[in-house]
């Protein structure tokens, strides 16, 4: 099929022959000629990668390029079909997670993998719980956990259950868990996708500190500036193949993106221009209160994109969920206006029936039925339009799903494949596709491009602008400041469940939003 001819004996070349130049110290970890197939499809196709102690190695590529798969092979989570992983000159048993851990390879997964009901300490030691003759040694467990947290400079109560932590803190606990195993190689798969700028800066500093002490780090991110801030070298993958490995001094952000997509990508930073005679208020909240939400008044007009800025944990997700009735509210009222008729939003279902689309923050738990194919996920919110007398119309459904898969540029565009088998960024596209088909009048997006690559991100931004231009009222929550600034006509900054300031497009920049978000200034709405 699409497998290139390969007659060279696999894995027999000397190591120095591989990527990189002679001026790099001996690598501590090497993946040699890794091939990983899922069924007939090749996810990683003959890729080699080598990383030295003290090096931060960036790994880049579009959604579905094979980054996570390659890293899971390096960490022994997946057994490669061909090729092998070498650590300190020794070959690891393929697909043996234990052996990889013992050799000092720790992976922080793209999707959080903590047990929500267990405490911070229990999670950090999960899988390597210290015990004496079958009894858990709690004191030892806490000592190791505290040490790991201290190493990354994060303070959090060891006895707190994970479920009560913010997404950002969970991410740091996840890293502490990797650190607790005293790794020589630390692999991070999109660790900053859930973090705000301040937290990201903290994480990046921390990684540089760890690398300074001789740790080898492989770092995956779709945010190019991060790569240029900390990486020494980068490897770019495209369609499962190795494109290039270069020293960071020898390339530019544009150059890297070009390697990723294989063409010159015009990243228009074109902002949304709202109509001067702006539409009427469609979505409105008055005196809204809910757990984590304090007395919110908020209006979103037809044709307008309203952004909610703030730190993770400021209450933005809680706010939008309470607004549309997805979670309980304790006081206040929200309304939706269509064709001049204003209706109270009594329940989440009435909101959906009234034309609201909601793209939740957590795609795997709230957004998708992972064990079902793409087509079924897309059908779910559109089932009324796609059925007659409660009987589903298969042909119509397939056409509908194919069209939407094309609109969001799903790759590969196989609508009968289970969503769980898609890469993270492509799963996010399916969540968007689910709702786009309804041509919603109100659309609420919570972190709409988390884990989505640069090209697809620009595409999604274009779609959001298009929805607004066609008269939809759009409410966006994003911790990605450039995204928030690019999209929003108006930005409300939220802190402690309150709107602490409102910035119009020409007043908003990274500094003004962050100042409000962290409580350094108070700007009143004009």
Ligand X SMILES: Nc1ncnc2c1ncn2[C@@H]1O[C@H](COP(=O)(O)OP(=O)(O)OP(=O)(O)O)[C@@H](O)[C@H]1O
Sole binder of Mg ion in the list 110, 337, 377, 512 (CB under 5 A): 110
Contact 363, 428 (CB under 8 A): yes
130 token code pair? 């210290």
Q: Which does 141 bind (CB under 5 to 8 A by kind): Mg ion, another protein, ligand X, none?
A: none
Which CB atom, from 40 or from 276, has the smaller least distance to ligand X? 40
Q: Which does 326 bind (CB under 5 to 8 A by kind): another protein, ligand X, Mg ion, none?
A: another protein
Which CB atom, from 219 or from 422, has the smaller least distance to another protein? 422
Q: Which does 272 bind (CB under 5 to 8 A by kind): another protein, Mg ion, ligand X, none?
A: none
Which CB atom, from 43 or from 474, has the smaller least distance to ligand X? 43
Sorted by sequence, the CB contacts under 8 Å of residue 203 that are 6+ apart come out as: 172, 175, 191, 192, 195
Place of tokens 């900054």: 493
Which CB atom, from 189 or from 446, has the smaller least distance to ligand X? 189
Starting at the earlier edge strand, list the strands of the sheet with 498-504.
356-359, 442-446, 473-477, 305-309, 490-495, 498-504
Work out how close the CB of 490 gets to another protein at its nearest, in angstroms, rounded to a whole number: 26
What gap in Å lies between CA 448 and CA 472, rounded to an integer? 16
* Contacting ligand X within 423-452 (CB under 6 A): 423-426, 451
Which CB atom, from 163 or from 278, has the smaller least distance to another protein? 163
Work out whether the CA dihedral 254, 257, 263, 264 comes out positive or negative. Answer: negative
Which of 127-135, 257-265, 348-356, 419-427 is the region at the interface with ligand X (rule: CB under 6 A)?
Answer: 419-427
Contact 337, 282 (CB under 8 A): yes
Sole binder of ligand X in the list 128, 166, 335, 421 (CB under 6 A): 421
What gap in Å lies between CA 460 and CA 35, rounded to an integer? 31
> Exposed (0-12), middle (13-18) or buried (19+): which is 350, by Cβ within 10 Å?
middle
Which of 46-54, 174-182, 390-398, 422-430 is the region at the interface with ligand X (rule: CB under 6 A)?
Answer: 422-430
Count other C-beta atoms under 10 Å from residue 308's C-beta: 25
Work out how close the CB of 63 gets to ligand X at its nearest, in angstroms, rounded to a whole number: 3
Which CB atom, from 53 or from 451, has the smaller least distance to ligand X? 451
Work out how close the CB of 325 gets to another protein at its nearest, in angstroms, rounded to a whole number: 11
Which CB atom, from 77 or from 158, has the smaller least distance to another protein? 77
Closest CA to 28 of 13, 10, 47, 49: 49
> Exposed (0-12), middle (13-18) or buried (19+): which is 405, by Cβ within 10 Å?
buried
* Site map (CB under 5 A) of Mg ion, residues 421-460, x = contact: ---x------------------------------------
Sorted by sequence, the CB contacts under 8 Å of residue 254 that are 6+ apart come out as: none
Q: Which does 522 bind (CB under 5 to 8 A by kind): another protein, Mg ion, ligand X, none?
A: none
Work out how close the CB of 478 gets to ligand X at its nearest, in angstroms, rounded to a whole number: 18
* Contacting Mg ion within 55-84 (CB under 5 A): 68
Work out how close the CB of 110 gets to Mg ion at its nearest, in angstroms, rounded to a whole number: 5
What gap in Å lies between CA 302 and CA 474, rounded to an integer? 8
Q: Rounded to a whole number, what is the largest CA-CA distance in the chain?
A: 74
Sole binder of ligand X in the list 29, 43, 51, 324 (CB under 6 A): 43
Work out how close the CB of 421 gets to ligand X at its nearest, in angstroms, rounded to a whole number: 4
Q: Which does 138 bind (CB under 5 to 8 A by kind): another protein, ligand X, Mg ion, none?
A: none
Given the rule CB under 8 A, which residues bind another protein?
1, 3, 5-7, 37-40, 81, 326, 348-349, 352-353, 358, 360, 365-372, 376, 379-381, 383-384, 387, 390-392, 394, 418, 420-421, 434
Q: Which does 497 bind (CB under 5 to 8 A by kind): another protein, ligand X, Mg ion, none?
A: none
Question: Chain centroid to CA 368: how far?
Answer: 15
What gap in Å lies between CA 184 and CA 211, rounded to an integer? 10
Which CB atom, from 27 or from 367, has the smaller least distance to another protein? 367
* Contacting ligand X within 212-241 (CB under 6 A): none
What gap in Å lies between CA 132 and CA 116, rounded to an integer? 25
What gap in Å lies between CA 276 and CA 172, rounded to an integer? 44
What gap in Å lies between CA 200 and CA 392, rounded to an integer? 46
What gap in Å lies between CA 399 and CA 434, rounded to an integer? 14
Work out how close the CB of 319 gets to ligand X at its nearest, in angstroms, rounded to a whole number: 28
Q: How far apart are the first and last CA of the chain?
A: 62
The yes or no reply on residue 38 touching ligand X (CB under 6 A) is: yes
The yes or no reply on residue 63 touching ligand X (CB under 6 A) is: yes
Which of 7-15, 65-73, 352-360, 474-482 is the region at the interface with ligand X (rule: CB under 6 A)?
Answer: 65-73
What gap in Å lies between CA 526 and CA 412, rounded to an integer? 47
The yes or no reply on residue 68 touching ligand X (CB under 6 A) is: yes
Q: Which does 5 bind (CB under 5 to 8 A by kind): another protein, ligand X, Mg ion, none?
A: another protein
Three-class HEC string of 135-173: EECHHHHHHHHHHHHHHCCCCCCCCCEHHHCCHHHHHHH
Residues near ligand X, by CB under 6 A: 38, 41, 43, 61, 63-69, 110, 421-426, 451, 453
Site residues (vs Mg ion, CB under 5 A): 68, 110, 424
């Amino acid at each position: 099929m699409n497998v290139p001819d390969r007659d060279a004996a696999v894995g027999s070349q000397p190591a120095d022959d591989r990527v990189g130049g002679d001026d790099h110290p001996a690598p501590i970890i090497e993946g040699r000629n890794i091939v990983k197939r899922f069924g007939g499809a090749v996810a990683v196709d003959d890729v080699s990668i080598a990383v030295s102690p003290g090096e931060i190695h960036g790994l880049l590529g579009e959604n579905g390029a094979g980054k996570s798969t390659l890293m899971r092979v390096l960490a022994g989570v997946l057994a490669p079909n061909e090729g092998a992983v070498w650590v300190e000159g020794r070959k690891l048993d393929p697909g043996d997670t234990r052996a990889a851990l013992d050799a000092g390879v720790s992976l922080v997964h793209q999707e959080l993998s903590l047990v929500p009901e267990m405490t911070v300490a229990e999670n950090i030691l999960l899988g390597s719980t210290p015990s004496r003759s079958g009894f858990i040694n709690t004191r030892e467990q806490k000592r190791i956990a505290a040490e790991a947290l201290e190493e990354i400079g994060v303070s959090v109560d060891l006895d707190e259950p994970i479920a009560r932590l913010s997404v950002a803190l969970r991410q740091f606990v996840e890293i502490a868990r990797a650190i607790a195993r005293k790794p020589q190689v630390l692999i991070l798969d999109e660790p900053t996708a859930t973090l705000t700028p301040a937290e990201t800066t903290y994480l990046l500093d921390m990684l540089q500190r760890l690398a300074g002490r001789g740790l080898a780090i492989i770092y995956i991110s779709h945010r190019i500036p991060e790569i240029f801030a900390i990486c020494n070298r980068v490897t770019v993958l495209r369609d499962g193949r190795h494109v290039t490995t270069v020293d960071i001094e020898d390339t530019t952000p544009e150059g890297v993106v070009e390697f990723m997509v294989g063409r010159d990508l015009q990243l228009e930073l074109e902002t949304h221009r709202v109509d001067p005679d702006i539409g009427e208020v469609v979505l409105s909240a008055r005196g809204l209160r809910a757990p984590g939400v304090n007395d919110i008044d908020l209006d979103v007009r037809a044709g307008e994109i309203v952004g909610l800025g703030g730190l993770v944990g400021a209450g933005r997700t809680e706010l939008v969920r309470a607004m549309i009735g997805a979670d309980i509210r304790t006081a206040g009222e929200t309304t939706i206006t269509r064709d001049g008729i204003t209706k109270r939003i009594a329940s989440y279902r009435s909101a959906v029936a009234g034309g609201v689309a909601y793209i939740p923050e957590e795609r795997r738990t709230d957004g998708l039925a992972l064990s079902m194919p793409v087509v079924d996920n897309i059908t779910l919110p559109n089932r009324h339009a796609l059925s007659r007398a409660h009987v589903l119309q298969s042909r119509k459904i397939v056409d509908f799903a194919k069209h939407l898969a094309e609109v969001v540029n799903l790759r590969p565009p196989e609508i009968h494949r289970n969503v769980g088998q898609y890469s993270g960024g492509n799963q996010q596209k399916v969540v968007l596709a689910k709702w786009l088909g309804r041509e919603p009048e109100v659309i609420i997006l919570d972190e709409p491009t988390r884990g989505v690559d640069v090209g697809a991100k620009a595409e999604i931004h274009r779609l959001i602008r298009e929805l607004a231009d066609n008269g939809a009222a759009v409410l966006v929550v994003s911790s990605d400041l450039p995204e928030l600034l690019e999209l929003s006509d108006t930005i409300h900054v939220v802190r402690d469940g309150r709107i602490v300031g409102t910035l119009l497009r020409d007043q908003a920049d990274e500094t003004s939003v962050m100042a409000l978000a962290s409580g350094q200034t108070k700007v009143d709405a004009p």
